[in-house]
């Protein structure tokens, strides 16, 4: 009865999601092994061995694992699966791409995007874009799972001392080839689809002061928006506007800076998952919809917040 965590890594280092996944795996109460399959991934494997709670690290190294393509990885994991009752990966693009392929090869129905572990065979996952939660029980002999990293607090990266076992790579299947990767440069995400949105209002007092928000946005990978008042005052162009007559956004995190919260603005952002309001006026209506309100002078709070991240 053992669990295999499929590590997401860059060959040089583990991705943060791997630590959350290990944490979820530990909740199942069985010894946790971690698979680091890559090319020149010795440092990542070493790193995995240091993670608290890891029992052993399986390290497969071959050129065809360099990009961790699903077709190559799935065959390797299928072979390893005989030794494990649970396979678990992060529900990131990497895990989402790979895990169902593994499951189908094993003829196991997987459970993906788990938010909470109820018991050894029962898990909670979101459906309908999180507008409902399903408690799902698996009837399978093996469990193939992916977990949402943000739902499991990362386990400590240092303090463990697992053995690293080199394992043999499978023959390359070469169904697809990696060509290139183009990670977003400093380009901001689009307002409508961004995971984090930071909006500024009249409180910023000038267009130049929006640069303060940009520094914060860079840290958070956020898009920048504005209230109608800020647009009307000419601080930023029209297409920044969030609200009734502007864009409607529903990011995971919405930070309203120096925005009083006119109804028309609220109409554009009230469906955001978490709303933060920073305003020096404690009576500003924006505080009525905010999950976290900070009554403060934004010219102090924003640089402080940027520095703290």
Partner 1 sequence: MKVVVALKRVIDYNVKIRVKSDGTGVETANVKMSMNPFDEIALEEAVRLKEAGIVSEVIAVTLGTQACQDVLRTALAVGADRVVLIETDVELQPLAVATCLKAFVQKEQPRLVLLGKQAIDDDANQTGQMLAALLGWAQATNAFKLEIAGDHATVTREIDGGLETLEASLPVIVTADLRLNTPRYATLPNIMKAKKKTIESLSPADLGVDPSPRLKTLLVSDPPVRKPGIVVNSVTELVEKLRNEARVI
Partner 2 sequence: MSAYRAPLKEMRFLVHELVGLKRLAELPQWAEITPDLLDQILDEAARFAEGVLSPLNAIGDRIGSIRSDDGSVTTPPGFKEAYQQFVEAGWNSIATPQEFDGQGLPRAMGTPVSEMWHGSNVAFTLCPLLTQGAIEAIHIAGSEALKQQYLPRMVSGEWAGTMNLTEPQAGSDLAALRTKAIPNGDHYLLHGQKIYITYGEQDFTSNIIHLVLARTPDAPAGIKGISLFLVPKFLVNEDGSLGARNDVHCVSLENKLGIHASPTCVMAYGDQGGAMGYLVGEENRGLEYMFIMMNAARFSVGMEGVGLAEAAYQHALKYARERVQGTPMGTDSHQRSSILGHPDVRRMLLTMRAHVEAGRAMAYQGSLYLDLAAHHPDASVRADYQTRVDVFIPVIKAWNTEMAVNMASLGIQVHGGMGYIEETGAAQFLRDARITSIYEGTTGIQCNDLIGRKVMRDQGRAMFALLAELEQELSAHLSAAHAFEVSQIEASLKACDASSLKFFSDLKVILNAAMVAVHTLKRATEWVVATSVDRSRHPEIFAGAWPYLKLTGNVLGGVMMAKAAQHSAQHLSAKEGDIDFFEAKIRTAHFFALHVLSENEGLLATLTQGGQSIIDFPPNAF
Contact code string over 270-299 relative to partner 1, x by CB under 8 A: ---xxxx----------xxxxxxxxxx---
Q: Which of 86, 80, 95 is nearest to 31 (CA)?
A: 86
SS3 per-residue string spanning 296-309 = CCHHHHHHHHHHHC
Type and span of the H or E element at 289? helix 286-289
Q: Which partner in partner 1, partner 2, none is near 37 (CB below 5 to 8 A by kind)?
A: none
- CB 243, CB 268: distance < 8 Å: yes
Question: Nearest approach, Cβ of 171 to partner 1 (angstroms)?
Answer: 14
**C-alpha span between 258 and 277 (Å, rounded):** 8
Q: Which is nearer to partner 2, 196 or 266 (CB)?
A: 266
- 92 forms beta bridges with none
Q: Does position 44 bind partner 1 by CB under 8 A?
A: no
Q: Which is nearer to partner 1, 202 or 219 (CB)?
A: 219
SS3 83: helix
Query: Which of 86, 112, 199, 241: binder of partner 1 (CB under 8 A)?
Result: 112
**C-alpha span between 259 and 280 (Å, rounded):** 10
Question: 185 to 244, contacts with partner 2 by CB under 8 A?
Answer: 228, 244
Q: Which partner in partner 1, partner 2, none is near 171 (CB below 5 to 8 A by kind)?
A: none
Q: Which is nearer to partner 2, 96 or 270 (CB)?
A: 270
Type and span of the H or E element at 216? helix 210-220
Question: 248 to 277, contacts with partner 2 by CB under 8 A?
Answer: 248, 263-264, 267, 270
In the complex, which residues of this chain contact partner 2 (CB under 8 A)? 228, 244-246, 248, 263-264, 267, 270, 288
């Amino acid at each position: 009865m053992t669990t295999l965590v499929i590590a997401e890594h860059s060959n040089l280092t583990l991705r943060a999601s791997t630590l959350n996944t290990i944490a979820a795996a530990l909740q199942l109460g069985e010894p946790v092994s971690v698979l680091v399959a890559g090319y020149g991934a010795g440092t990542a494997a070493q790193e995995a061995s240091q993670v608290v709670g890891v029992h052993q690290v399986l390290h497969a190294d071959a050129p065809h694992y360099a990009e961790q393509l699903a077709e190559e990885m799935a065959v390797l994991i299928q072979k390893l699966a005989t030794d494990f009752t649970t396979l678990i990966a992060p529900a990131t693009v990497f895990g989402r791409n790979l895990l169902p392929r593994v499951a189908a090869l094993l003829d196991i129905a997987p459970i993906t995007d788990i938010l909470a572990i109820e018991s050894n065979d029962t898990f909670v996952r979101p459906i309908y874009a999180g507008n409902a939660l399903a408690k799902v029980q698996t009837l399978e002999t093996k469990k193939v799972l992916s977990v949402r990293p943000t739902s499991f607090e990362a386990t400590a990266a240092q303090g463990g001392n697992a053995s690293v076992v080199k394992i043999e790579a499978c023959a390359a299947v070469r169904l697809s080839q990696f060509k290139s990767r183009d990670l977003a440069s400093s380009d901001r995400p689009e307002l409508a689809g961004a995971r984090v949105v930071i909006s500024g209002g009249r409180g910023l007092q000038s267009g130049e002061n929006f640069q303060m928000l940009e520094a914060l946005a860079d840290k958070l990978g956020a898009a920048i928006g504005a209230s109608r008042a800020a647009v009307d005052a000419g601080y930023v162009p029209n297409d920044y506007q969030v609200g009734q007559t502007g864009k409607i956004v529903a990011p995971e995190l919405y930070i309203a800076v120096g925005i009083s919260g006119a109804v028309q603005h609220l109409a554009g952002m009230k469906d955001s998952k978490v709303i933060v309001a920073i305003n020096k006026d404690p009576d500003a209506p924006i505080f009525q919809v905010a999950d976290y309100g900070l009554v403060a002078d934004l010219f102090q709070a924003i640089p402080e917040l940027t520095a703290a991240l």
